[in-house]
């Protein structure tokens, strides 16, 4: 399952560039995995491949899209309307993957009442009521790290089980249904910079990893 | 090394909230790892912990920051000034981790000449010359996926070894010094949504993973 979103994204790009069908070898090359892994993965949800023909990209996209819930009516809210939150509201193509952003919530009285990309900003005091009455299950967290865990605890009580976490906080919940997807932009750029400024250490670490695998 | 950026981010948050020192147990809880792992990790770069006192957060931040190159003069360029690229220029706190964005590059003649967050936008025809003359080693990629690999190939020839990749493309380079950090926002939200709409499958997968570990 971990690879399904990657398949979906890669196949979307292929379709956009006009490709209609693809062999498991070609798809493996795009996905940077082996072609036997591709065949195994795709066999799990129906038989889309035909020998000598390859996979029909349109059909495959519909099937994977269905499993990923892209054609369902998905809703989310966003909490924290600082620079990052507003950037996300304005720039992320939520609707392309079946999402509607119902509302944003802010601690700042200045911003409450504003709209970003057509999405209204409500005060955080309305958060619990809104989530319960709108049956929201997914929340994007772009608020300060220090407020993240208490907000998670509040939202889990109202039935939110998916958190798209852009904060630095290492969040947790005792509820086994709750899932966190962490986007760590700062960590990622720091890691990249480390590799650039310490090329020898990084190469040695990669070689060691390869050896362990082999 | 993988954990160093995470330590850095967590310690920054702790310092911001006024904490001056921390025990390995407390730091382990924040990092969601074991305290013996914390002690082992931090012993690798000097002896910061004192029995019964814990770690001095300020000292630790300086040491980790040094290894991560935060106090160096780091430069990057950004390629692709669509919604995402502009959002990143406007909202990401580059300077907080020692980065200066020297320039952005665009394929669109309409945007060339503009400035976003004070950063000038140049035509992509100037890319190679700029990178070479300014000795740029890091590039953020926010351009269309279809143009990403050819841009990487061009930039690697000019000495870029670090790519902060926001495109869908699975990028590669034959040069072993080249490193990619991929930010897959769409994949991440799709994965989260899958877990929310298929809670049973996700819990079974987690249980299986735990069993394998144990």
Residue with tokens 């620079």: A83
pLDDT for res A48: 60
B125 touches A: beta carbon within 8 Å:
no
* Helix, strand, or coil (residue B37): helix
Cα-flanking dihedrals φ and ψ of residue B145, to 5°?
-50, -40
pLDDT for res A108: 87
For residue B162, the chain A residues in CB contact (below 8 A) are: 192-193, 195-196
CA distance A188 to B181: 6
Residue B186 pLDDT > 70, yes or no? yes
Beta strands in B61-137 (DSSP E): 74-79, 99-106, 115-116, 119-123
Contacts of A52 by beta carbon, 8 Å cutoff, 6+ apart: none
Nearest-by-Cβ selection for A189 from B164, B188, B201: B164
Residue B52 pLDDT > 80, yes or no? no
Is B196's CB within 8 Å of A187's CB?
no
Residue B2 pLDDT > 90, yes or no? no
Nearest-by-Cβ selection for A197 from B69, B99, B168: B69
pLDDT for res A109: 86
Mutate to test the interface with B, among A71, A179, A210 (most CBs of B within 10 A): A179
For residue A202, the chain B residues in CB contact (below 8 A) are: 1, 179
Shortest distance, CA B118 to any CA of chain A (angstroms): 16
Cα-flanking dihedrals φ and ψ of residue B18, to 5°?
90, 5
A33 touches B: beta carbon within 8 Å:
no
Which of A42-46, B5-9, B97-101, B147-151 has the least mean pLDDT? A42-46
Report pLDDT digits (tens) over A63-102. 999 999 999 999 999 999 999 999 999 999 999 999 999 9
Is B16's CB within 8 Å of A191's CB?
no
Shortest distance, CA A162 to any CA of chain B (angstroms): 6
Those of residues 101-120 in B touching chain A at CB distance below 8 A are none
pLDDT for res B107: 86
Is B192's CB within 8 Å of A87's CB?
no
CA distance A170 to A145: 9
Nearest-by-Cβ selection for A195 from B12, B179, B201: B179
pLDDT band at A136 (very low <50, low <70, confident <90, very high): very high
- pTM here is 0.91
A181 touches B: beta carbon within 8 Å:
yes
Which of A33-47, A143-157, B124-138 has the least mean pLDDT? A33-47
Is B9's CB within 8 Å of A164's CB?
no
> What tokens appear for A93 in the block?
């193509």
* pLDDT cut 70: percent of chain B above it: 94
More confident residue, B204 or B20: B20
Report pLDDT digits (tens) over B69-88. 999 999 999 999 999 999 99
The ipTM of this complex is 0.92
Average pLDDT value for chain B: 91
The burial class, CB within 10 Å (0-12 / 13-18 / 19+), for B214 is exposed
pLDDT for res A1: 77
Residue B214 pLDDT > 60, yes or no? no
Query: What number is the average pLDDT over the span A180-185?
Result: 97
């Amino acid at each position: 399952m971990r690879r399904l979103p990657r398949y979906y994204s890669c196949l979307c790009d292929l379709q956009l560039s006009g490709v209609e069908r693809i062999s498991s070898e070609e798809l493996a090359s795009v996905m940077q995995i082996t072609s036997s892994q591709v065949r195994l993965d795709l066999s799990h949800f129906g038989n889309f491949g035909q020998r000598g023909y390859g996979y029909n990209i349109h059909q495959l996209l519909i099937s994977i899209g269905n499993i990923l819930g892209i054609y369902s009516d998905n809703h989310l809210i966003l909490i924290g309307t600082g620079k990052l939150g507003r950037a996300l509201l304005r720039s992320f193509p939520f609707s392309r993957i079946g999402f509607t952003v119902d509302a944003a919530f802010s601690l700042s009285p200045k911003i409450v009442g504003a709209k970003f990309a057509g999405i209204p900003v409500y005060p955080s005091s309305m958060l619990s009521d809104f989530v319960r009455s709108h049956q929201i299950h997914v929340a994007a967290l772009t608020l300060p790290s220090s407020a993240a865990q208490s907000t998670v605890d509040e939202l889990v009580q109202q039935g939110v089980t998916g958190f798209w976490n852009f904060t630095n906080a290492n969040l947790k919940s005792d509820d086994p249904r709750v899932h966190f997807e962490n986007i760590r932009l700062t960590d990622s750029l720091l890691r990249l910079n480390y590799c650039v400024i310490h090329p020898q250490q990084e190469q040695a670490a990669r070689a060691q990893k390869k050896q362990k695998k082999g």
